Amino acid sequence: MQHHLILKIVTKSIVGIILLFGLYVQFHGDYSPGGGFQAGVIFAAAFILYGIVMGLDKVQEVLPFWVVQKLAALGVLVYALTGVFSLFMGFNYLDYSAFSPHHPEHGQHWGILVVELGVGITVTGVIVCIYYCFASRTPHLDDGEW
Amino acid sequence: MEQVYLHFPILQVLIPLLLAPICVLVGRSTFSWLITFFGSVSSLVIAISLLHSVSDGSSISYHIGGWPPPIGIEYVVDSANAFLLVLVSGISTVVLLYARDQIKLEIDEENHTLFYTCYLLCLTGLLGVLITGDVFNVFVFLEISSLSTYVLVAQGAKRDKRALKAAFNYLIMGTVGATFFVIGVGFIYMATGTLNMFDIYERINDLESSRTVRASYAFIVIGMGLKLAMFPMHLWMPGAYTYAPTVVTTFLSATATKVSLYVLIRFTFSVFHFDFNFIEQVFKFLVMPLAIIAMFAMSFVAIFQKDIKRMLAYSSIAQIGYMLLGVSLLSSEGLTATFVNLFNHGITKATLFMSLGVLTLYSGKSFLSDVQGLGKKMPWISASFLIGGLSLVGIPGTAGFISKWLLVQATIEAGVPILALLIILSSLLAIVYIWKVIEHLYFMEPHSELASQKVSFRILIPLWILSISCLYWGFDTSLTVGTSDIAANNLFNNVIKLN
């Protein structure tokens, strides 16, 4: 006996598209609406949707709690290390021109991409983490109790 | 990279910020402590070298991302904030030396890494608030430090569940404060169209009658008043200080409120013009009376506390009254007194909280009856509490005396000798509550069941570093008073000399 068959089928087919759209927003954020924060939220939304429909256990098989925690930290590290890279190249902190000293415009472009990647990773981590924290507080519902 | 010292202003904030995620990624208790300590020590070294290079009254400007101000974010180091950078990173280093053993007792093993991460983030936030020259950046760093502070306070829940309520209380009050502050910043932006402090200072010149500017100052005073526990907005403080782990209380009491007070001073003198009519009135009719009430009322409340931690928290609110009194004189001498007070009170309170923490290391209870007779059992630790207490009261020969003396001088020079009298009278109240603790420590029989407790050297060394510095700054005032004098003069005359 399977409950919410339609929801589950739709979720399965849509999760991949959401993730793909998240990546699109992430990497086109520099010249179209979007960026790290929006992409991170969209990316996290895919996991949250999966979690709501399939249950917390199922989604934590894909993305365990400890991974989420480390992701949140990793993004900050990516952001900060981008700045440190500029320092090592002899520029001021977070001066993206360091990425391409001969073409500062390209450098600025690439720098923003890397920094936004960091933002995206952290936001994904934090949003999923918040969801996990709230979701794991309530006892699991049996299928019959819906 | 060949000239690292040019990047010191950013490294000051960057090192603890960078180490915080590393802490989470690695996730071992000992390792976390090690890198936290490393971060704190390197911050201290950088802060000292920054203080050294601005000690002639000049200032350093650093442009983040290579964008010159007012477009980009600018970090500015002058003697005022360099002095406090040294205080914050110095206290943090000393507290960490002792934190390791105390944390083991007070917090569950699995939370250690996240504790140290929050500690690092709190340090980042406090240092960032001090160093930045951008008003919105102040808000961002203030939130970084506050949010991590709430978590740190809540860690006291292992020993006392009331820590959760205290942390929540602090969260609500702190968030209201931060919201008010950011509304104020929004209004300034609306009126001037810029966020760079020194750019605002120039543009705000003929906006004295603008209602937007006045409203923004009102919002900022209230917001910061909440954060620094200005008298009627102090309600979060006794709870947070009482139930937080001792390490956190020690660190916060010496830094967090001081940094908020610095923000208030910085905004009054370097963003707004302190000779604006409405600012003079705010200080004359609002801040000064509240400061005086705080000095008396809070000292009086402290006398009747049974819990020593709570007593010291109330005493902190009273001490903030002295600092605000110094500012509200709106004179260079008053500012000097406040800066010296910030530093000396930071050390004094840290000494008191730390020695109390060690006295009650194993029981975790800090009621007067719990320390009864410990003067004989733990003579060295009780002695350091005694030194801290004397310094709090302002006995000659201790750091506290210097700050009270300067404040008394400033009030007399400002032509209101009655304030000097009030300062001395309220100091007498401090004698009463400190005496109550001393009496319990030295003149009462210890509880018989209390076994002699072993305290390791790792705890004694930082404790005595603090106690001796309480005495040291009471004799050698060249650093404290000298730097404060330059800082106050620069702020007062708004001299920002860029090298």
pLDDT in tens, B230-273: 988 999 999 999 999 999 999 999 999 999 999 999 999 999 98
Q: Which A-chain residues 124-143 have CB contacts (< 8 A) with chain B? A: none
Contact A90/B at CB under 8 A? yes
Whether A1 has a pLDDT exceeding 50, the answer reads no
pLDDT of res. B71: 87
pLDDT classification of B499: cutoffs 50, 70, 90: very low
pLDDT classification of B91: cutoffs 50, 70, 90: very high
Between B135 and B58, name the one with better pLDDT: B135
Stretch B23-51: mean pLDDT, rounded? 92
Dist CA B320 CA B304 (whole Å): 19
- Show me where the domains of chain A are located: 5-145
Q: What is the SS3 assignment for B69?
A: coil
Q: Shortest CB distance from A87 goes to which of B1, B23, B24?
A: B1
Stretch B61-70: mean pLDDT, rounded? 87
CB atoms B22 and A77 under 8 Å: yes
pTM: 0.93
The per-residue pLDDT of chain B, averaged, comes to: 90
pLDDT of res. A71: 93
pLDDT classification of A141: cutoffs 50, 70, 90: low
Q: Is the dihedral of CA B375, B379, B384, B386 positive or negative?
A: positive
Buried b / exposed e over B104-123, threshold 16 CB at 10 Å, is eebbeeebbbbbbbbbbbbb
Contact A72/B at CB under 8 A? yes
DSSP H helices, B54-161, are: 79-106, 112-131, 135-154
Dist CA B261 CA B305 (whole Å): 26
Task: For A5-14, write each residue's pLDDT tens digit.
Answer: 899 999 999 9
User: What values do phi and psi take at A77, rounded to 5?
Assistant: -65, -45
Q: Are B425 and B431 spatial neighbours (Cβ–Cβ below 8 Å)?
A: no
- Residue whose C-alpha is closest to residue B351's, from B403, B402, B312: B312
- Residue whose C-alpha is closest to residue B406's, from B468, B328, B460, B339: B339
Whether B411 has a pLDDT exceeding 90, the answer reads yes
Contact A67/B at CB under 8 A? no
Q: Are A87 and B7 spatial neighbours (Cβ–Cβ below 8 Å)?
A: yes
Contact A112/B at CB under 8 A? no
What tokens were used for A107? 């450098």
The number of CA neighbours under 13 Å toward the Cβ of B118 is: 19
Dist CA A22 CA B133 (whole Å): 36
Distance in Å, alpha carbon of A70 to nearest chain B alpha carbon: 6
Amino acid identity at B130? L
Which residue, chain included where needed, has tokens 């206290």?
B91
pLDDT of res. A95: 86
Dist CA B241 CA B316 (whole Å): 10
Element (H, E) at B487: helix B478-493
Whether B496 has a pLDDT exceeding 70, the answer reads no
Can you say how many angstroms the Cα of residue B415 is from the centroid of all Cα atoms in its chain? 29
Stretch B478-486: mean pLDDT, rounded? 88
The number of CA neighbours under 13 Å toward the Cβ of B141 is: 27
Stretch B137-152: mean pLDDT, rounded? 95
What tokens were used for B239? 């709870």
pLDDT of res. A45: 95
Stretch B417-443: mean pLDDT, rounded? 91
Q: Shortest CB distance from B14 goes to which of A93, A95, A96?
A: A93
CB atoms A80 and B2 under 8 Å: no
Stretch B202-224: mean pLDDT, rounded? 91
Q: Shortest CB distance from A93 goes to which of B21, B24, B64?
A: B64
- Number of residue pairs across A and B with CB atoms under 8 Å? 56
Dist CA A10 CA A43 (whole Å): 17
Q: Which residues from chain B sit within 8 angstroms of residue A87, using beta carbons?
A: 1, 7, 10
Stretch B301-326: mean pLDDT, rounded? 93
Percent of chain B with pLDDT over 70: 97
What tokens were used for A24? 């699109």
Can you say how many angstroms the Cα of residue B323 is from the centroid of all Cα atoms in its chain? 11
User: What values do phi and psi take at B61, rounded to 5?
Assistant: -120, 140
Minimum CA–CA partner of B2 in chain A: A90
pLDDT of res. B1: 47
User: What values do phi and psi take at B367, rounded to 5?
Assistant: -75, 160
pLDDT classification of A138: cutoffs 50, 70, 90: low
CB atoms B18 and A73 under 8 Å: no
Contact A144/B at CB under 8 A? no
Dist CA B365 CA B37 (whole Å): 27
Chosen from B64, B73, B74, B124 to mutate, greatest number of chain A CBs within 10 A? B64
Chain B residues near any Cβ of chain A (below 8 Å): 1-2, 7, 10, 14, 17-18, 20-25, 62-66, 117
Task: For A32-61, write each residue's pLDDT tens digit.
Answer: 888 889 999 999 999 999 999 988 888 999
Integer Rg of chain A from CA:
19
Dist CA B290 CA A25 (whole Å): 52
| DSSP 8-state code for residue B61 | E
Between B118 and B275, name the one with better pLDDT: B118
Minimum CA–CA partner of A72 in chain B: B21
Dist CA B22 CA B172 (whole Å): 30
pLDDT of res. B345: 93
- Which range marks the domain in which residue B129 is found? 4-493
Alpha carbon distances (Å) from B210 to A30, B141, B188, B204, B219: 39, 28, 10, 9, 15
Buried b / exposed e over B189-220, threshold 16 CB at 10 Å, is bebbebbbbbbbbebbeebeeeeebbbbbbbb
Element (H, E) at B63: strand B60-63
pLDDT of res. B448: 61
Which residues have C-beta within 8 Å of that of residue B106, sequence separation ≥ 6?
B155, B156, B158, B159, B245, B246, B247, B364
Dist CA B100 CA B95 (whole Å): 9
Distance in Å, alpha carbon of B19 to nearest chain A alpha carbon: 9
Stretch A59-74: mean pLDDT, rounded? 92
Does some domain include residue B332? yes
Alpha carbon distances (Å) from B372 to B30, B56, B79, B88, B314: 34, 49, 44, 32, 21
Does some domain include residue B499? no
Q: What is the SS3 assignment for B416?
A: coil
pLDDT of res. B166: 93
The number of CA neighbours under 13 Å toward the Cβ of B87 is: 36
Dist CA B452 CA B487 (whole Å): 47
Q: How many domains does chain B have?
A: 1
Task: For A99-133, write each residue's pLDDT tens digit.
Answer: 888 888 888 888 888 999 999 999 999 999 999 99
Task: For B179-196, write each residue's pLDDT tens digit.
Answer: 999 999 999 999 999 999
pLDDT of res. B406: 93
Among B28-32, B38-42, B359-363, whose mean pLDDT is lowest? B359-363
Amino acid identity at B146? S
Whether B450 has a pLDDT exceeding 80, the answer reads no
